[in-house]
């Protein structure tokens, strides 16, 4: 932590030492904190030449992480692939499109970035239990990273969490508590339990250290794009942590001189769970809603980190847009067909958002963009089946085969 200088409240601007609890003592739960670094020292230490000799994972950016990278869980996190996909770009109506496939992380989602930091900090603070509330991905991520580090995890799930994600938790040995209610109710119970039992709190909505893990997706984009980032970065938005972290990374890379310019951020929400978009457009504080969307990973009615997300999009000169569940399911199908990348609903939301933003003129057709695929489609097979439909039925003797082949224009 030699490069961390302290914490700053995003509401009142007050600065605190790195030992300050999760949120601002003055502003309470609304006072989300942001980690600050000595960027002049980082600039001297984290050069392109030094990066070239480091292992290809997200710990390579040690100077911009709040942990001792010599004591991290022994699982691969980060350095997920970036693909250029011309057929998908053509379908979306944009000049150039890249996909950053974070579904290739060790437990199948971008949440491994934050969980790896949480587990490492918990061990450093000698806390043997880490807890979180999650619709699934953060939970399975925490359970897997905790198992690798030899500590215990407690998971609070809403009633509608997809079964494949629940199965991962149980395999990893987590104590799984399915709360008979919404994600927001599970989140509140987790908060209370962490305070009561002294567990390390992995909820990224209030724990400022975890966004530092999430931001590594942005650090990698800069390096993997050979320090020439696209004009737009599209990400789905739930609590707001991920897009805020990615923007922070891009801003930091410019601050230390590794990129010449920053891209604009495109935040995409499901139309049935879009309180952050409403706050961005109105300029007022966020109003809680009752979320309804097929994209469970971003089905958040009370996003705690909305302010950081809105600030990130405004600072970048970006936009927010909403897409329907039908658009999300359609994006799962055409993203797979045109790029070979299997995205869960929340992950496909970013691609659907690019398509809609181009159609509405928010993103120019002549622009370049990268969409972050936040989780593997194997996380929610039921939604994938809903998007893709059913297989054809044929007889063992081949009866019906030619009809199918003709229908699929294979004959």
At residue 123, the pLDDT reads 92
Mean pLDDT of the chain: 93
**Per-residue confidence band for 1, with pLDDT thresholds at 50, 70 and 90:** low
With respect to residue 15, please indicate whether it lies within any of the assigned structural domains: no
Give dist(CA 4, CA 252) in Å, integer: 13
pLDDT digits (tens, 9 = 90+) for 332-373: 999 999 999 999 999 999 999 999 999 999 999 999 999 999
At 238, which CATH number? Answer: 3.40.50.1100
Rounded average pLDDT over 63-68: 92
What backbone phi and psi angles, to 5 degrees, belong to 320?
-125, 150
Buried b (16+ CB within 10 A) or exposed e, 254-284: eebebbeebbbbbbbbbbbbbbbbbbbeeee
With respect to residue 7, please indicate whether it lies within any of the assigned structural domains: no
With respect to residue 116, please indicate whether it lies within any of the assigned structural domains: no
Give dist(CA 74, CA 132) in Å, integer: 21
Whole-model pTM: value is 0.92
With respect to residue 117, please indicate whether it lies within any of the assigned structural domains: no
Beta partners for 167?
none
Give dist(CA 153, CA 375) in Å, integer: 21
Rounded average pLDDT over 161-182: 88
With respect to residue 351, please indicate whether it lies within any of the assigned structural domains: yes
With respect to residue 297, please indicate whether it lies within any of the assigned structural domains: yes
With respect to residue 200, please indicate whether it lies within any of the assigned structural domains: no
Concatenating the DSSP letter of every residue in 158-176 gives -TT--HHHHHHHHHTT-EE
Range of the domain at 298: 86-106+210-388
Domain count, the chain: 1
Give dist(CA 154, CA 142) in Å, integer: 9
**Per-residue confidence band for 92, with pLDDT thresholds at 50, 70 and 90:** very high
Range ranked top by mean pLDDT from 11-20, 152-161, 282-291, 389-398:
282-291
With respect to residue 145, please indicate whether it lies within any of the assigned structural domains: no
């Amino acid at each position: 932590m030699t490069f961390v200088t302290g914490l700053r409240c995003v509401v009142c601007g007050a600065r605190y030492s790195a030992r300050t609890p999760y949120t601002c003592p003055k502003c309470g739960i609304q006072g989300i904190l942001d980690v600050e670094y000595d960027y002049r020292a980082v600039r001297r230490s984290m050069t392109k030449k030094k990066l070239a000799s480091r292992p290809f994972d997200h710990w390579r950016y040690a100077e911009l992480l709040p942990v001792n990278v010599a004591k991290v869980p022994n699982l691969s996190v980060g350095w997920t692939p970036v693909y250029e996909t011309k057929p998908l770009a053509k379908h979306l109506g944009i000049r150039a499109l890249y996909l950053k496939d974070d579904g290739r992380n060790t437990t199948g989602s971008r949440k491994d970035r934050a969980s790896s930091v949480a587990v490492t900090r918990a061990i450093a603070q000698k806390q043997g239990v880490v807890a979180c509330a999650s619709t699934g991905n953060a939970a399975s991520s925490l359970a897997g990273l905790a198992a690798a580090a030899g500590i215990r995890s407690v998971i609070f799930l809403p009633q509608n969490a997809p079964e494949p994600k629940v199965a991962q938790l149980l395999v990893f040995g987590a104590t799984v508590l399915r709360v008979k209610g919404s994600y927001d109710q599970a989140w509140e119970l987790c908060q209370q339990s962490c305070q009561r039992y002294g567990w390390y709190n992995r909820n990224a909505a209030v724990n400022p250290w975890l966004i530092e893990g999430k931001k590594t997706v942005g650090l990698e984009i800069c390096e993997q794009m050979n320090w020439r980032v696209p004009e737009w970065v599209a990400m789905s938005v739930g609590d707001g942590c991920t897009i805020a972290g990615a923007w922070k990374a891009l801003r930091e890379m410019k601050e230390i001189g590794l990129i010449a310019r920053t891209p604009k951020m495109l935040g995409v929400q499901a139309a049935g769970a879009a309180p952050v978009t409403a706050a961005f457009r109105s300029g007022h504080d966020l109003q809680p809603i009752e979320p309804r969307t097929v994209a469970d990973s971003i089905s958040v009615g009370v996003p705690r980190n909305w302010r950081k997300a809105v600030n990130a999009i405004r600072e970048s000169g970006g936009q927010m847009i909403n897409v329907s569940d039908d658009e999300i399911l359609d994006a799962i199908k055409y993203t797979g067909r045109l790029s070979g990348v299997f995205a869960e609903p929340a992950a496909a939301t970013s691609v659907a958002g690019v398509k809609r933003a181009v159609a509405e003129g928010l993103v120019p057709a002549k622009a370049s963009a990268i969409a972050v695929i936040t989780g593997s489609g194997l996380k929610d097979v039921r939604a994938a089946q809903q998007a893709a439909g059913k297989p054809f039925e044929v007889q063992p003797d081949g009866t019906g085969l030619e009809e199918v082949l003709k229908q699929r224009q294979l004959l």
